[in-house]
Structure 1
Amino acid sequence: MKQAKSHLSLDRRNAFSGWGFIIISVVMIVLFYFYPMIQSLILSFKTGTGANLTFTGLDNYIRLFSDSTFITAVKNTFIYLIVQVPVMIILALIISVLLNDSKLKFRGFFRTAIFLPCVTSLVAYSIIFKYLFAGDGLVNSLLLNIHFISEPIAWITDPFWAKVTIIIAITWRWTGYNMIFYLSSLQNIDHSIYEAARIDGASSIRQFFKITIPLMKPIILFTSITSTIGTLQLFDEIVNITKGGPGNATMSISHYIYNLSFKYTADFGYAATVSYSIVIMIIVLAFIQFKVAGDKNG
């Protein structure tokens, strides 16, 4: 009986010790993560300017459907999402397969060079892209010198080309990030599988689609979801390259949230509503991606 009690007291001491290690982290997470989330959700049901807010129920959420600026921002963001994410995923897959070849020289250099954009400052690289794609920038000068174009392209001031510039910028920055995940996944695939496929006469392309892609499906799903979340929250590139222009042709949802809060007459309640619209979009798109990928846990 005494031995059982001693074991019980030891378990309690261990439990208290464990909680002692994590209690500060738990409190900080609740205080700075979950509490602001709950407060912003409550805020999304209020309307007013500045701190003069009154509870108005679902009015803000109904307002979303008639807000032309919000609808434009959603359209722009989904254009980035639909075009950029598949291009980035495919590029990262191809590059990772090429850089996983043991016969390739200077693999470490190429891997580092392609990953480096991910660690550059968002603001710094956005400003560099703005100058590169300016009317008299390096990109136009190069294209004119090789006679690819007859007059400079309005990369920043034309609605279509401004979107193209944003897509190029975020693809350049984040392709290397996804490449690292794919390289890690490729290095965990047993080489004997490929050897058996080669013996059976499978070409490299057939191996890629029949072995590499199926075995990498979980990590491809993961990077697709994280890339979707990142694109729906796109902000820095928009603000620093095009400032949402020309007009609202490149404005993203996050940029609109910023304008509602700090540029227009402060409407924090409606800004919180727009923020939660992103949350809803992320949940819906992640669910769709899980189902399309055939993930049973989705």
Structure 2
Amino acid sequence: MGQTEKVVKMTTNLQVKQRKLFITPKNAPYIFIGPAFLLLLIFTVYPVISSFILSFQEVRGVDKTFVGFANYTRLFHDPIFYKSLLNTAEILIVQVPIMLFLSLLIAVGLHSTMVKGKAFFRISYFMPAITALVASSIVFMILLDEHFGLVNYVLSFLGVKSIPWLTSPLWAKLSVILVMTWRWTGYNMVVFLAGLQNIPAELYEAASIDGAGKVKQFFMITIPQLKPVFIFTVVMSTIGTLQLFDEPFILTHGGPNSATMTITLYLYETGFKFFDFGYASAIAYVLVLITAIVSWIQMKLVGDLEE
């Protein structure tokens, strides 16, 4: 039997086996993506639908009772929910602008031709974003300890009294903002840096010929060209802050006196500490609605500025 006949025979046998397995050119793609689609249904679509239905129910043990909009109505009379919402808004308003300003400043500096060792600095600034969040939060918890922390120890040499970083409502909130800024500044710096590298050099050359200085070039060329990057970083940073959980959970446990209680932390405690899953589901969907509205407003405002 020749080589060609062997190939033909093998191809025929393969086609027969495919028919037995119901694999044809038409249904083959669906068969191959089927397992991934099934996992998506089980671990994403089903939990979303199930939690939405759960938000209209009251759960007691294994018993579920339909209560309509009672869980959502309860939110309007819950002072802790309003407190967590206010805390999240305060952190968002303070932390996001500071972080994005620092990210842009560092990105512009590292984009400059005068800076040596750019790779080292880029990696150094980006490292916090890939550091385990629990580990970094524990390190900051040790550094910011009121009595034995390194930060207060250094400040004592400058004549500054011990600061209750994690036990005072104001300082605890500032500590959370500090840790968040440390962690995500480098991440946004990389995004801004990518945007800067995509700005055509011809624009700066033309501006230089027309007599525009570096400051004018920055505000007239760099900032307008980075508007899509600003949209991305602002929206993503806002969504991330609205979902803030790890830092206050590890550093302060939402305290003191609920000063760092965020919406997601309150959601977690409601569901997994008090086992009120119906109410926790209602909080989750209100958070989704708030996130969608805030993101839409931000994109609308930036879009209007572009026009």
TM over 0.5: yes
The answer for the alignment partner of 2:91 in structure 1 is 80
**% of aligned pairs identical?**
46
The answer for the alignment partner of 1:146 in structure 2 is 158
Q: Where does the alignment leave 5 or more consecutive residues of structure 1 unmatched?
A: 1-11
Shift in Å, 1:194: 1.0
Task: Check conservation: 1:123, 1:236, Cα contact below 8 A.
Answer: yes
Q: Does the alignment pair 1:209 with 2:219?
A: yes
The answer for the alignment partner of 2:262 in structure 1 is 252
Q: Does the alignment pair 1:176 with 2:205?
A: no
Q: Does the alignment pair 1:164 with 2:174?
A: yes
Task: Check conservation: 1:49, 1:268, Cα contact below 8 A.
Answer: no
SS state at 2:27 partner:
helix
Shift in Å, 1:89: 1.1
SS state at 1:261 partner:
helix
Could you list the structure 1 runs, at least 4 aligned residues long, displaced by more than 6 angstroms after superposition: none
SS state at 2:64 partner:
strand
Q: Where does the alignment leave 5 or more consecutive residues of structure 2 unmatched?
A: 1-22
Q: Does the alignment pair 1:281 with 2:293?
A: no
Task: Check conservation: 1:50, 1:268, Cα contact below 8 A.
Answer: no
Task: Check conservation: 1:50, 1:267, Cα contact below 8 A.
Answer: no
**Which runs of structure 2 are paired with 1:229-268 in the superposition (5 Å)?**
229-264=239-274, 266-268=275-277
Greater CA drift, 108-117 or 204-213: 204-213
One-letter code of the match for 1:140? Answer: N
1: CA distance, partners of 2:114 / 2:77? 58
Shift in Å, 1:13: 5.6
2: CA distance, partners of 1:197 / 1:18? 53
One-letter code of the match for 1:164? Answer: L
2: CA distance, partners of 1:231 / 1:273? 19
What's the CA shift string for 1:148-171, capped at 9, x where partnerless?
x2x111110100010000000001
What's the CA shift string for 1:73-102, capped at 9, x where partnerless?
111111111111111111111111111112
Greater CA drift, 183-192 or 163-172: 183-192
Quickly say closer, same or farther: Cα 1:15–1:186, change in 2 above 3 A: farther
Task: Check conservation: 1:260, 1:268, Cα contact below 8 A.
Answer: yes
What's the CA shift string for 1:197-251, capped at 9, x where partnerless?
1222222222222111111111211111111111111111111101111121111
Query: How many equivalent pairs are there?
Result: 282
One-letter code of the match for 1:30? Answer: L
Greater CA drift, 245-254 or 16-25: 16-25
SS state at 1:53 partner:
strand
Task: Check conservation: 1:48, 1:54, Cα contact below 8 A.
Answer: yes
The answer for the alignment partner of 1:135 in structure 2 is 146
One-letter code of the match for 1:276? Answer: Y
Task: Check conservation: 1:140, 1:152, Cα contact below 8 A.
Answer: yes
What's the CA shift string for 1:1-36, capped at 9, x where partnerless?
xxxxxxxxxxx9655333333222222112211111
One-letter code of the match for 2:40? Answer: I
1: CA distance, partners of 2:61 / 2:182? 38
Which one of the candidate residues 24, 31, 39 is aligned to 2:42? 31
The TM-score, its normalising length taken from structure 2, stands at 0.88
SS state at 2:58 partner:
strand
Quickly say closer, same or farther: Cα 1:51–1:200, change in 2 above 3 A: farther
Quickly say closer, same or farther: Cα 1:13–1:45, change in 2 above 3 A: same
